Each structure stands twice: as C-alpha cells, then as structure tokens.
Amino acid sequence: MNKMTEGHTVKRFDDEMVFLHRLVLEIGSLAQNQLKRAVQTLNDKDPSAARDVISRDQELNDLDVQADEEFINLIVKRQPMAKDLREIITISKAVSDLERVGDEARKIAQLTIHIYDTDSSPPNKQVLRDINTMAAFVGDMLKSSLIAFDELDAPKALDVIRLDSELEEEYKSALRRLTTFVMEDSRAIGHMVDVVLGLRALERIGGHAKNIAGYVIFLITGSDVRHESVECIEKQII
C-alpha cells in the first residue's frame, strides 16, 4: 500500500485499490517475462519455446480482461475522484499498454519460428545482434516504468521518457545497418523483413514503456504529458 491507495474512510476501498495496483505489477511482470523469453527463443534458436511464449500470451489477455472487470466494478461501487480517479485511469491505460507489450513479445516469438522452423538458412548473427541490444534497452525501460508506477517516482518516469528518444535513434541505426547488410548480400533479404518487424515490435515496446511513464506523471501531478516535450515535463514535476 502506498500514499495513493491508503487512508479511505471505507477500508474496503483501500483494499480494492491495492488489489488493482498489484494486478498492474503482476501483469507488468508477466509482460517483462514474455519479452525476455521471446528474445531468448531467438538466441536459443528454439521454435518450440517460441510456441510456448505465444500460447502464454493468453494469460496476459485474461488478466487484461480481469483488470477491466475490476475497474468497472470499482467505478460503479466507489465513483472515484481526484487522485483515486487518476490512479484508476492510469491503471486502466497501463494495463492496455502492458497487454500490447505481450502482443509485441509474441511477434518476436513468431520471428523465431519464421527463421528457425523453415527450410531456408537462418540469417547470420550480426543481423540479429540489434534485436538483442534493443530488447535489453526496452526491457530496462519497461522495468523502470513499472518501478516508477509502484514507487510513484516522477523523476524515474521522466528518465524513461528521455530514454525513448535514445531508443528512436537506436532503431533508426539498426534499420540503417540492416540496409547495409542487404546491399552487401542480397541473398539475406528473405529474413530481413522479419527482422525489421522484430525491431519494430521492440520499438513499440519502448513506446508502451514511455506511455506508462507518462501515465505515472499524470497520476502524480494531474498533468497530461503524453504530447509534451521533455523540457515541458521537467517543469511539471519540479
């Protein structure tokens, strides 16, 4: 329980808010795990494990539906206001983003199946190196955004938003490198589209982490910073 969720006259309301808060962390943990496992299947060249990752996405979908039911019940019962209302909105949006992180992780797992479960020869390691680099980067972003949510840490959330610009640069560099690979060896083009889609999925995961960080700042300050510059957000949280 944190200062956002505690202290209602109706103690049951506290319990319900704490439950939702923990549900976000549970869904976040599962989404992080899905990303990690999906990338691991690629490194292990293991289509069978990739299929496990894909089937496990259903757990995230179920939790997403459960969370929606919990929001609706809580809104009906408690008609939350002010920071409670902001927390409900934050949780609702964060859960949607985390569910989509799961969808993106599934795309990485599908990449493993496309590459290693076909007759065509897999791409060389250099082509896949950027997947690992970007996966580690967005994994950290996702972790930080969830810590910022759990600890109501606006500066940490701002760090995640700052990292998104770096991620965009990283993504563009990776695309440039892939273009170079294709120009050097046009036979590699078969898997390049899959790899580009994999990179795109990771870039989107970074975007979802940034979204969650933005919701955290909204939760803490009441300001919607989704379309604000980093400089503007800095002023909001000082």
Partner 1 sequence: MQPNTQTVSSVTPLMVCTDIEPIAAHDNRKTVGEISVDNPRMSCRNVNVFYGEKQAINRVNLDIGRHEVIAMIGPSGCGKSTFLRCLNRMNDTIDSCRVTGEILLDNQNIYDKTLDVVPLRAQVGMVFQKPNPFPKSIYENVAYGPRIHGLSSSKSDLDIIVESSLHRAGLWNEVKDRLDQPGTGLSGGQQQRLCIARTIAVSPEVILMDEPCSALDPIATAKIEELIDELREEYTIAIVTHSMQQAARISQRTAYFHLGDLIEVGETNQIFTNPQHKLTEDYITGRFG
Q: Name residues contacting partner 1, limited to 12-51 (CB under 8 A).
A: 13
Alpha carbon distance 179, 175 (integer Å): 6
Least Å distance between CB 6 and partner 1? Answer: 9
What are the residue ranges of helices labelled H in 117-153? 125-151
Contact between 226 and partner 1 by CB under 8 A: the answer reads: no
Least Å distance between CB 145 and partner 1? Answer: 22
Contact between 93 and partner 1 by CB under 8 A: the answer reads: no
Tokens linked to 104: 């993106």
Q: In this structure, is the dihedral angle defined by the CA atoms of residues 129, 138, 231 and 147, taken in order, positive or negative?
A: negative
CB contact at 8 A, 141 and 202: no
Amino acid (one-letter) located at 108: I
Least Å distance between CB 208 and partner 1? Answer: 24
Q: Which residue has the tokens 């506290």?
A: 14
In residues, how long is the chain?
Answer: 238
DSSP run (H or E) holding 232: helix 230-237
- Of the two residues 10 and 189, which places its CB atom closer to partner 1 in the complex? 10
Contact between 79 and partner 1 by CB under 8 A: the answer reads: yes
- Of the two residues 63 and 233, which places its CB atom closer to partner 1 in the complex? 233
Q: Which of 8, 93, 143, 177 binds partner 1 (CB under 8 A)?
A: 8
CB contact at 8 A, 33 and 101: no
Binding region for partner 1 (CB under 8 A) out of 7-15, 103-111, 127-135, 136-144: 7-15
Tokens linked to 3: 């200062």
Least Å distance between CB 221 and partner 1? Answer: 8
Alpha carbon distance 178, 232 (integer Å): 35
Least Å distance between CB 185 and partner 1? Answer: 56
Q: Which of 51, 83, 93, 177 binds partner 1 (CB under 8 A)?
A: 83
Contact between 214 and partner 1 by CB under 8 A: the answer reads: no
Chain contacts with partner 1 (rule: CB under 8 A) = 7-10, 13, 78-86, 222-223
